[in-house]
Structure 1
Amino acid sequence: MVQLECRMYENTYPEPEDVVMVQVKDIQEMGAYVQLLEYNNIHGMIMLSELSRRRIRSVNKLLRVGRQEVCLVVRVDKEKGYIDLSKRRVTPEDLQRMEEKWNKSRAVHSIMRHVAETVEVDLEDLYQRWGWPLYRRFGHAYDGFRQILVDPSISNDLEITEKEKEELMKNIQRKLTPTVMRFRADIEVYCFRFEGIDAVKEALLLGESEGTDESPVKVKLVKPPLYVVTTNCLDKTQGIDILQRAVEKIKTKILEKNGKFTMKEEPRAISDRDDRLLSRLMDELEERNREVSGDEESEEEIIIEEEVEEE
């Protein structure tokens, strides 16, 4: 029987200060018992005092059995197998980094399991021979798989059989084919000086110049002075970096022209839902503008009629 259960990383236990993904298994008065999903479901505990920075009225409002949570490792006793965790010490930055890491690790684990099952080799054996070496070489095996897609000769340096290599290539081609992601930043730009309109236009065009053929930067007006800056890119880090540079150019230029700049929403990856919400907002604003224009014309007609009557 092929053994398909194995931790995702080379270390058997996480280290203190590591951020991990857990699943809540049981909730007691003293805290919550969880399983560390990346470490083959070894057990850990979140003490009541480590659940939240605020006063806790009900643990059940903070945690639910079966739900996944991001935690920070406080203490590890490898001899006794105790792992103390904290939910309240996790920062927003930790959450963002963990989301990306977890998605990568889960994708790698799925591919590794499928290869192990197909070639009938224990999962941990595959990890030891070429999974964890890819983590060491590329920082994450996911990035190693992506590189193998571009340059299959990388696998020649791994302790991998031809059958395993064939199955690995099939899986990463099917599951890791790059998809274009969309990115957006929301900014306010305005200038009340005589040349204000030209200053805003110049700043926005300068921001758009940061785009490339593969990842063009576009600026769209929502309603003055709110604009959205968007781009598309295959790589999340690169996409956000492009927008950050574009937004910085806009900020520098408009301030140079004695205008004002406000970052409303930092550059981020967006979903189809975000696009739909923005499109709906812009449609509503356009409809309001039509109604206002219509009202103004009606008022003007009334005034003209009154003047005619007075004459």
Structure 2
Amino acid sequence: MPNLECRMYEPRFPEVDAAVMIQVKHIADMGAYVSLLEYNNVEGMILFSELSRRRIRSISSLIKVGRQEPAIVLRVDRDKGYIDLSKRRVSEEEARSCEDRYNKSKLVHSIMRHVAETLEIDLEPIYQRIGWPLYRKYGHAFEAFKLIVADPDAILDVLTYEEKETGPDCQEVTKVVPAVTPEIKETLVQNIRRRMTPQPLKIRADVEMKCFQFDGVLHIKVLVNPVSALGYD
């Protein structure tokens, strides 16, 4: 079975002061344990003192199990995997930006995961060869995916990665090879176009036209007939 678990971004842990999307897992004596949704559900903790700037009267009114919301990273211990977070230090602007980024990342992740599941391959190598390079180049892979809808070759065919192999003289050789195989490219483009192609909108408006001249109806027909000829109802 392929491994379909992977973080959304290249760094294994978020940076201090970054806003991240969390989900509350359970509430303990000192605070709430949460999962960082963008980092493969790595565990973090929000102390009760970091829940609100105001005096806390009821913990349950401030944080609930299962809720998803932004939080600010206070400390990261990369060796032990400990992450301390704050809810009270998140500004409105940071919350909006975090939610927007997460929604885009979630769509990218869903598409990437579906490709891995369809082709029965691990998810992380697809991120290493496609997803994370697109994040680096375009700021967010979502922006690259929007371009892929119209011109996949221009975005995907230039991606490469280094592959190491042993040569005839038993020396290790590094080769630069295309990052996207034809099979992955076809499946990825199909999924991106299915999920991200803009849908045409049909807009209807009721228009009332009046002409107070003697032959007003004829004047209105002169205006309306060219529109009807274009196929609009």
TM-score calculated relative to the size of structure 2: 0.75
Q: 1:117 corresponds to which letter in structure 2? A: E
Q: 2:180 corresponds to which letter in structure 1? A: I
Q: Is 1:174 paired with 2:194?
A: yes
The aligned residue for residue 41 of structure 2 is 41
Q: How does 1:104-183 map to 2 (within 5 A)?
A: 104-153=104-153, 154-158=155-159, 159-178=179-198
Q: 1:155 corresponds to which letter in structure 2? A: L
The aligned residue for residue 18 of structure 2 is 18
Shift of 1:54: 0.3
Cα separation, 1, equivalents of 2:62 and 2:103: 23
Q: What SS is found at the alignment partner of 2:157?
A: helix
Q: Is 1:29 paired with 2:49?
A: no
Cα separation, 1, equivalents of 2:12 and 2:110: 19
Cα separation, 1, equivalents of 2:61 and 2:199: 37
Q: Is 1:63 paired with 2:83?
A: no
Cα separation, 2, equivalents of 1:31 and 1:55: 15
Q: What SS is found at the alignment partner of 1:25?
A: strand
Cα separation, 2, equivalents of 1:5 and 1:95: 26
Cα separation, 1, equivalents of 2:145 and 2:135: 10
The aligned residue for residue 73 of structure 2 is 73
The aligned residue for residue 176 of structure 2 is none
Q: 2:92 corresponds to which letter in structure 1? A: P
Cα separation, 2, equivalents of 1:146 and 1:53: 40
Aligned length: 181
* 1:224-251 residue CA offsets vs partner (Å, 9 max, x unmatched): xxxxxxxxxxxxxxxxxxxxxxxxxxxx
* 1:106-164 residue CA offsets vs partner (Å, 9 max, x unmatched): 00000000000111110001000111000001000111111111222221012111010
The aligned residue for residue 92 of structure 1 is 92
Q: How does 1:224-239 map to 2 (within 5 A)?
A: none
Q: 2:144 corresponds to which letter in structure 1? A: G
Q: What SS is found at the alignment partner of 1:83?
A: strand
Q: 1:173 corresponds to which letter in structure 2? A: R
Against the structure 1 CA distance between its residues 179 and 101, is the aligned structure 2 distance closer, same or farther, given a 3 Å change threshold?
A: farther
- Relative to total residues, which structure has the larger helix share, 1 or 2? 1
* 1:59-83 residue CA offsets vs partner (Å, 9 max, x unmatched): 1111111111210001000011110
**Using CA pairs below 8 Å that are at least 6 residues apart, which structure has the higher relative contact order?**
2
Cα separation, 1, equivalents of 2:98 and 2:186: 31
Cα separation, 1, equivalents of 2:199 and 2:91: 29
In structure 2, list runs of 5 or more residues that go unmatched: 160-178, 202-233
Cα separation, 1, equivalents of 2:86 and 2:16: 11
Cα separation, 1, equivalents of 2:17 and 2:198: 32
Q: What SS is found at the alignment partner of 2:74?
A: strand
Cα separation, 1, equivalents of 2:103 and 2:192: 15
Q: 2:84 corresponds to which letter in structure 1? A: D
Shift of 1:105: 0.3
TM-score calculated relative to the size of structure 1: 0.57
Cα separation, 2, equivalents of 1:102 and 1:180: 26
In structure 1, list runs of 5 or more residues that go unmatched: 182-311
Shift of 1:180: 7.8
Shift of 1:29: 2.9
Q: 2:195 corresponds to which letter in structure 1? A: K
Cα separation, 2, equivalents of 1:31 and 1:147: 43
CA RMSD of aligned residues (A): 1.3
